[in-house]
Chains A and B, each alone.
Chain A
Amino acid sequence: MKKRRNKNPQKNLILGIIITAIMLTLTFVGFFYTPYDPTEIAVENKLTGCSLEHIMGCDNFGRDIFSRVLQGLGNTFVIAVLTVSIGVIGGILIGAFTGYFGGWLDEILMRANDVLFAFPSILLALVFVSIFGTGKYNVVLALGIAFIPSFARIVRSEFIKYKEMDYVRSARLAGAGHLRIMFVHILPNTTTVLLSSIMIGFNNAVLAEAGMSYLGIGVQPPDASLGSMLSDAQSYLFSAPNFAFFPGLMIILLVLGFSLIADGIKG
């Protein structure tokens, strides 16, 4: 892999942490407090621009965009976290067992992995959703399963690298069992690689969620999500650009923050 030249990874890391911290604060505030009810319709405010009362303006139903962005951030965040959790936990389990034991189990699971990997994750999620129906948690499940293969590969290659190390042999010689060696001795060594791939995975999850909500199969109205807001906003792109601008900005900042952190960890 070609390593990108990075003059000051530390700076990127700090910038990433700052952006992410702001986004996380907004997200958590959004769980408990929004200036207006995000689903309250007020026709008189329809598509008004930015003002002191509604700092990001109002949408086509006169709902406060700032409140909806906060709620949407929360939804997107929860979906992304759950998706990545499913992907990481599944990936660690599959990767650890296949990498550590090898043999026929490895062959079977990794070939299944290749099959999953061959489809773009959005397409795979679409298939899942068409089978199980739309909704927030089905999207989480669908994306989570679609995310497993990439994590499984990373963990597997790390386990293959570490399982022949002398300290793993020492641990075996100290009488440690397979599970103890796998999860206590080897797994902590994979954290650096895992952490940066979790960050990238999180980004992909945010984008995938936004994409799926944009297509109308993620978070269902009247609940807000950044993707579905973008989708609603596209008809008003010229009459009310602020409607599309702010949700889009939030997606960009969220992804940028995590990308910078991932980059900083690697460098």
Chain B
Amino acid sequence: MSELLLEIKNLSIEFHDHALPESVVEDVCLQVNTGEIVGIVGESGSGKSMTAMAIAGLLRRHDMKKSGEIIFQGEELLHAKRSELRKYQGNDISIVFQEPMTSLNPVKRIGWQVEESLRIHRPEMSKEERYQRAIESLRSVELLEPEKVYRQYPHELSGGMRQRVMIASAMICEPKLLIADEPTTALDVTIQLQIVKLLKRLNQEKNTSILFISHDLSLVKRLCDRIVVMQKGRIVETGTPQEIFEQPKEEYTKQLIAAIPRLEKLEV
């Protein structure tokens, strides 16, 4: 059995910026092992992205009450100082966002952006080594002509290509955990499948754990070793794809499964 990489214990997040405190994540417990792909599914506002942000250390400091523990490789992250967090960010933990159109800086070349983590975490690398790594990384996400893409600007690329670039820049330091926050939502269906296959391949080749957040159960089923279903900030059900799809225990899970669009329905 592979070892434990990330453990979330009783994570709760409350917003305090309005008169009434608002709880967005409640008592979430979650484990991710090395090399495992865990899917978090749930409707909009179910707290899945907030959980991911908390792991990545992207929650803003004020207006918010956080409790619980996030333990990554034996280190507590939730209450860690920013300076300590930065050692992990981009190096051991990376994230791919939902919107590939706004995730890349429009005034910087692709290569520069892909290299950014290297520049921060591997300052000893020479320019030439960085270039090689960036090209290698762009090639590994199945971008044709990585040398050309390296010199392009984001507006010259399509959505699918940008998302690949995002994955390439997230993977360049070979992180142990990749958080994919709805990486396929903004893409069309054929590209979604390609991205999912790509993530699966990277997971197998580099043994990177992936926390895949989505509201699309059919994609999660294809990709993940384990599925966590969230509703209203709580985890309602956990299990392997088989368990979830064949014997869903919760009413909410059944509803989610029933909501997957099927071809037969369209043919009526």
Contacts and interface: CB of A to CB of B under 8 A. Distances in A.
Interface of A: 165-167, 169-177, 180, 185, 188-189, 191
A188 B108 contact: yes
Interface of A is mostly: helix
Contacts of A175: 86-91, 117, 120-121
A175 B115 CA distance: 12
A166 B99 contact: yes
B258 interface: no
Interface in B202-238: none
A32 to B, nearest CB: 37
A171 B103 CA distance: 9
A166 B96 CA distance: 10
Nearest to B179: A173
Q: What are the nearest 5 A-B pairs in CB distance? A: A174-B90, A175-B90, A175-B89, A166-B103, A174-B117
Nearest to A178: B82
B116 A174 contact: yes
A160 to B, nearest CB: 14
Interface residues of B, number: 28
B142 to A, nearest CB: 21
Given A166-B97, A189-B107, A173 B90 contact: yes
B95 interface: yes
B102 interface: yes
Contact of B58 (A173, A180, A191): A173
Nearest to A176: B120
A1 B60 CA distance: 33
Interface in B95-118: 95, 97, 99, 102-108, 113, 116-117
Given A175-B86, A175-B120, A175-B121, A170 B106 contact: no
A177 B89 CA distance: 11
B78 interface: no
B153 to A, nearest CB: 12
Interface of B: 56-58, 86-91, 93-95, 97, 99, 102-108, 113, 116-117, 120-121, 166, 169
Contacts of B95: 170, 173
10 contacts: A166-B102, A169-B97, A170-B95, A171-B105, A172-B89, A175-B87, A175-B91, A176-B90, A188-B105, A191-B107
A169 B59 CA distance: 10
B110 to A, nearest CB: 12
B90 A189 contact: no
A118 to B, nearest CB: 31
B120 A174 contact: yes
B7 to A, nearest CB: 21
Contacts of B166: 170
A167 B104 contact: yes
A177 B103 contact: no
Nearest to A167: B105
A174 B103 contact: no
Given A166-B102, A171-B105, A173-B89, 14 more contacts: A167-B105, A170-B95, A170-B166, A170-B169, A172-B89, A173-B56, A173-B57, A174-B90, A174-B116, A174-B117, A175-B86, A175-B90, A180-B120, A185-B108
Nearest to A168: B105
Nearest to A174: B90
A221 to B, nearest CB: 47
Nearest to B118: A174
